[in-house]
Amino acid sequence: MKKVVVCDPIHEIGFKILSEAEDIELVDASKTPKDELLKIIEDADGVITRSPTPVDDKFLNAVKKLKAVVRAGVGVDNVDIDGASKKGIIVMNVPTANTIAAVELTMCHLVSSMRAFPNAVNALKRDKEWNREKWLGNELYGKKLGVIGFGNIGSRVAIRAKSFGMEIIAYDPYINPSKVTDLGMTYTTNFDDILACDVITIHTPKNKETIDMITAKEIAKMKDGVRLINVARGGLYNEDDVLEGLRSGKIAWLGIDVFNKEPLSDHPFWNEENTSVTPHIGANTMESQEKIATQAAENIIQAVRGISYPNALNLPIDTNKTPEWAIKYLELTQKISYLITQTIKKAIKKIRVTSYGEVSEYSDSLLTFAVVGAMTEIVGENVNYVNATFLAKENGIELETVEKSNENSPYKNLIQVELLTDTKSYTISGTMFEDNFRVVEIEGFELEFEPKGNLIFFRNTDVPGVIGEVGMTLAKNNINIADFRLGRNKKGEAVAVILTDSKIKKDVIEELSKLKAALSVHYAQI
C-alpha cells in the first residue's frame, strides 16, 4: 500500500478517486493543524497540497520516504523545489485544470476595464445613483491587446479577445512564432510593441525573469490611458509603480486578481476608483475545482506507483524553454516504456528510443524518461529522473537514441521505444492526437489505443472465433470489456489489446493462454 496524505481541502471527487484505488492508503489531513501535519506525513509516499501548506525545510525534513508532491493548482510559490530535488522528491502541479476559469476571469476584467462595470453596478445598487453620463466607456473593438505569455491561458484569452474585434500583439520568447501568426495575430520579440498597446494582460509564471516585469520604466513608455490586467501571479506588475500610474491618470484602469501578499484585509488599490479587484478567484469555479482535484488525485497515484510524473517541475529539462507538446511526448515515452517492461518480464540488455519529426530535438530527454519507465519495473520505487540512467548502466543496460526524419511517416511526431533482451526485441510506438496519448504500433502490429487502465495483450493466430472465445472467457470471470482494439499482420497473426473495467488475476491470464489460438498473453496496468 502507498500512503497518500491530502494536506489541504480539495473537491470531494479527488478523495473518491484516491479511496477507490486498491493500492492507496488515503489519509485526509485537510483539517489537521499544520504542526500536527508533520507527524502524519513522516511515512507518506505522496502528498497533495494547496497554498496553506508550505513545503519548506520543516516539511521536507519531516518526511522519510516521500516520492512526490502534487500542488493542486498552478502556483508553487510555497514549495521549495530545489530542496525537494535534493531529496529526490518530484514536485508536480496541475497547470491546466483551471485554464478556462482563469481565461474567463481575465475576460471579465478586460470588459470591466473598458466599461467601469463594477463602479456602475455599485453606484446603482449601493448608492441608488442613476447616472448614465458618468459611465461613458470605451469599446474593445479595434483596440490593441498586448498579451505577455502565450501559453494555455494567454493564447485562449487572445482568441476570445480577437472575437471582440481586438488586434492581438503577443510576446513570448519561448514559443514558436507560428503559434501566434497561424491565428492571424502578431508575434513580437520587442517588448516595446507590447507597451504601445491599449490594453496589456500578463499570463506568465512567477520567476526571476517575470517579477516586476512592469515597473515605472515600462509604464512611462505606455500610452496615456492604458489598461492593465493581471490574473496570473502577484508581483508580475510592481504594485507601487502601478498605484502611482493609476493616481496620475497614466493608467486608466487596473484589473487585478493577485497580489504580492495574500490574503489581504486592505490594499491601496481598493481605494482607487479606476480598479477592479478580486480576491484571487481565478480558479474558483465548480468545474475548475473538480478538474483540479481529479487531476491531482490521478497524478499522485501515478507518481507513487512510479508510472509517470505528469507536469513535474523538477525534471532534467528546462520546462520554461521546453514547449508543452514536447513535455507531453516525454511523458508518453515513459508510459510506453513502463508498459513494455510489464509484458516482457525478462532481463533487458538495451533500451533504444527512436524519434521521428521535431520531437527528435529532445532525444536525450526522451531516453531519460524511457529509462525511468523501464527501471521502475526493474528496481522499484527508488528510481527517479536523476538516478535512472546510472541505475540502468549499473544493471548492464546499454542506452541508445536514434533520430529520424518523419518524411515517410503519417505522423508529425512519433516515438518508438525498443527494449532488447538476449533473444528478442520488443517495440511500442506512440504519438499524440491533440492532447491525447496514443499507442499506434506494437511489435509491428498497427493498432491504436490509449495507454491507460487495465490492459490485456493477447497475441494469436488469425483464425475465426478468437474474439468470441476471449469474450466468453472474460465474461465467465465476470470481467467487463471497456474497449477492444485489434491489429493483424501478413503472417497470419493478430494482436488484441483489451481494456477491462477491473484488474485481471493471474488465473484468468492462464486461462486465456490455454485457448487454442493463443500465442502469448500478457497483462499490464498503467
**CA 130 to chain CA mean position, Å:** 47
**Is 377 annotated in the active site?**
no
Closest C-alpha among 105, 79, 103 to residue 92 = 79
Residue of 227, 233, 305, 459 marked active site: 233
Contact 69, 89 (CB under 8 A): yes
How many CA within 13 A on the CB side of residue 438? Answer: 14
Residue of 12, 129, 139, 262 marked active site: 262
**DSSP state, 283?**
T
SS3 state of residue 137: coil
Alpha-carbon separation of residue 413 from 85, 175, 429 (angstroms)? 30, 18, 11
SS3 state of residue 450: coil
DSSP 170-224: EE-TTS-THHHHTTT-EEES-HHHHHTSSEEEE----STTTTT-B-HHHHHHSPT
Alpha-carbon separation of residue 137 from 42, 152, 168, 264, 497 (angstroms)? 57, 30, 21, 30, 60
In 10 A of CB 28, how many CB atoms?
A: 16
Residues 120, 126: Cα–Cα separation, whole Å: 10
Q: Find the helix or strand (DSSP H, E) in which 426 lies.
A: strand 425-433
**Is 280 annotated in the active site?**
yes
Q: Locate cell 520554461: which residue?
A: 320
**CA 312 to chain CA mean position, Å:** 8
Residue of 71, 227, 280, 305 marked active site: 280
Residues 504, 512: Cα–Cα separation, whole Å: 11
**Is 139 annotated in the active site?**
no
Residue type, 391: L
**DSSP state, 155?**
H
Per-residue exposure over 96-109, b if at least 16 CB sit within 10 Å of its own CB, e if not = bbbbbbbbbbbbbb
Residues forming the active site: 233, 262, 280
